[in-house]
Amino acid sequence: MIEELTRIVGKENVLSSETDLLLYGYDASLFKGRPDCIVLPGSTEEVSKIVKFAHRSGIPIIGRGSGTNLSGGTVPTRGGIVLHFSRMNQILEIDIENERVVVEPGIFTLVLKNRLARYGFVYQPDPASEKVSTLGGNFGENSGGPHCLKYGVTTNHILGAEVVLSDGEVVQVGGKTLDNPGFDLTGILVGSEGTLGIATKLVLRIMPKPEAVKTMLAIYNTLEDAGRTVSGIIADGIVPATLEMLDRLTIKAVEESVHAGFPQDAEAVLLIELDGLKDGMERLAERIMEICRKNNVREVKAAKTEAERTQLWAGRKGAFGAISRLRPNYLVCDGTVPRTRLPEVLTKVMEVGKKYNLAIANVFHAGDGNLHPLILFDERNKEELRKVHSAGSEILKICADAGGTISGEHGIGTEKIKEMFFVFSPRDIAAMKKVKMAFDPENIYNPGKVLPEVEA
């Protein structure tokens, strides 16, 4: 295998030392595996040749961007070849007039955004991991982020892709135009977690930067009041760009590391951002403040300078990292519920923490009803680890039972396969397996991910 792959990409782009196999055996989830080797392709042609070889030989292929996914999507649970896209990281075209860009999959999300800022344009999806996550990984997970409340998630911004199928053939799905005829293969591929096809180019929608932005911090003495404010704002017909919530434990961790200016005695804070035309923005902000007041807000502060705004966002975007100061490990449960059910579901989530004697911190996309309870633990304590998996599964069941679902943006990967039955019937799963069979009958691409292999 190593000889064949070396012929395709050169010796320096095939990794197989013991250290490499350990490093590429995990991602940001709790799972671990071991690949047979890692390959760093430099072009679509090379990807195609690697996949043709793997297809002939029955070897699994695991596409990988930065390995920051939180559900075990890049863990090589059955060995195989990890295709790491760090060399395919170029912006191929910036078409401002048509508001499109074409990129390779290995480019970091924030690198694209920074380039677009020079033109006064923006690619909207903004996972908190954007400094290091890749657009290929965002494509694989259909990633979200704070601004996805107003602008939609990754699938609303990927219009087409060049894709290597599991037999190595290269096809083009979608394109620069909207509403392409035929089946919406782009829609099926976005969020398929590397199980259906490997993207080697992506066509993205970009937008002009909004004229004005207003960022506010609302401080609460109870989680319920913060939750009710979220429903109140949306029910009033206002769609802010972001509506993010952090609870007391998260605020403590953030303040100890990032010093964002969140009061440590608050039970919850909401980070609310408006963007759009300057005209009318102050009136909208006043309406939001009024809704906050009706829901017993302690204080609402608006960022007065860009530095203050950046500081508030540093607190939100650095929250997952900051949590690591409290315990060595955490499990993020990425459930979604109808936002009117947020206060009640949050109470039940905290009861799960008490039942298992595990601390839970909350930092999440409240406007989308997308919860992220972070269960804190130490993986060296095997009993605690077992409890964490049970608690995580119970939290997802609570979300499903509240009319929600088991993933808002982090995917299913290895972690949530058995929970798929919380939201899908065996028939639903069988229909999805037919799609998998059509794209990848030999089960080469990321085997053992997303779809349960056993019955409910």
Ligand X SMILES: Cc1cc2nc3c(=O)[nH]c(=O)nc-3n(C[C@H](O)[C@H](O)[C@H](O)COP(=O)(O)OP(=O)(O)OC[C@H]3O[C@@H](n4cnc5c(N)ncnc54)[C@H](O)[C@@H]3O)c2cc1C
Q: Which is nearer to ligand X, 64 or 436 (CB)?
A: 64
Interface of this chain with ligand X, residues 322 to 361, rule: CB under 6 A: none
User: Looking at 28, 112, 226, 297, which residue binds ligand X (CB under 6 A)?
Assistant: 28
Q: How far is the CB of 237 from ligand X (least distance, A)?
A: 26
DSSP-derived 3-state class of residue 269: strand
Interface of this chain with ligand X, residues 175 to 214, rule: CB under 6 A: 193-194, 198-199
User: Looking at 15, 27, 291, 452, which residue binds ligand X (CB under 6 A)?
Assistant: 27
Q: Which is nearer to ligand X, 128 or 251 (CB)?
A: 128
Q: Which is nearer to ligand X, 194 or 315 (CB)?
A: 194
Residue 73 binds ligand X, judged by CB under 6 A: yes
Residue 320 binds ligand X, judged by CB under 6 A: yes
Q: What burial class does residue 425 get, using C-beta atoms within 10 Å of its C-beta: 0-12 exposed, 13-18 middle, 19+ buried?
A: exposed
CA-nearest of 58, 125, 132, 123 to 96 is: 123
User: Looking at 206, 446, 447, 448, which residue binds ligand X (CB under 6 A)?
Assistant: 446
Residue 369 binds ligand X, judged by CB under 6 A: no
Residue 410 binds ligand X, judged by CB under 6 A: yes
The DSSP bridge pattern shows strands 100-103 and 91-95 to be: antiparallel
Rounded to 5 degrees, φ, ψ at 331 are -110, 125
Q: How far is the CB of 321 from ligand X (least distance, A)?
A: 6
Q: How far is the CB of 39 from ligand X (least distance, A)?
A: 13
Q: Which is nearer to ligand X, 215 or 295 (CB)?
A: 215
Q: What's the distance, CA 93 to chain centroid?
A: 25
In angstroms, what CA-CA distances link 132 with 126, 127, 138? 11, 10, 11
Using CA atoms, how far apart are residues 86 and 178, in angstroms rounded to an integer? 29
Q: How far is the CB of 344 from ligand X (least distance, A)?
A: 24
Q: Which is nearer to ligand X, 300 or 361 (CB)?
A: 361
User: Looking at 66, 186, 215, 229, which residue binds ligand X (CB under 6 A)?
Assistant: 66
Residue 250 binds ligand X, judged by CB under 6 A: no
The DSSP bridge pattern shows strands 170-174 and 121-122 to be: unpaired
Residue 62 binds ligand X, judged by CB under 6 A: yes
Residue 51 binds ligand X, judged by CB under 6 A: no
Residue 174 binds ligand X, judged by CB under 6 A: no
Tell me if 445 sits within 8 A of 198, measured CB to CB: yes
Residue 447 binds ligand X, judged by CB under 6 A: no
- Range 231-234 contact pairs with CB under 8 angstroms and sequence separation of 24 or more: 231/339, 231/340, 231/342, 232/291, 232/294, 232/295, 233/272, 233/288, 233/291, 233/367, 234/339, 234/367
In angstroms, what CA-CA distances link 169 with 163, 181, 385? 8, 21, 42
User: Looking at 14, 40, 51, 70, which residue binds ligand X (CB under 6 A)?
Assistant: 70
Interface of this chain with ligand X, residues 101 to 160, rule: CB under 6 A: 105, 127-129, 133-134, 136-141, 143-145
User: Looking at 29, 74, 242, 329, which residue binds ligand X (CB under 6 A)?
Assistant: 74
Q: Which is nearer to ligand X, 122 or 285 (CB)?
A: 122
Q: How far is the CB of 91 from ligand X (least distance, A)?
A: 15
Three-state SS annotation for 274-296: EEECCCCHHHHHHHHHHHHHHCC
Q: What's the distance, CA 315 to chain centroid?
A: 18
Q: Looking at 347-398, which runs of residues are DSSP E strands?
A: 360-364, 373-377
Residues in contact with ligand X, counted by CB under 6 A, come to a total of: 38
Q: Which amino acid is at 384?
A: E
Residue 414 binds ligand X, judged by CB under 6 A: no
Tell me which DSSP letter residue 455 carries.
-
CA-nearest of 314, 272, 2 to 128 is: 314
Q: Which is nearer to ligand X, 320 or 424 (CB)?
A: 320
Chain residues binding ligand X by CB under 6 A are 27-28, 62-70, 73-74, 85, 105, 127-129, 133-134, 136-141, 143-145, 193-194, 198-199, 320-321, 409-410, 446
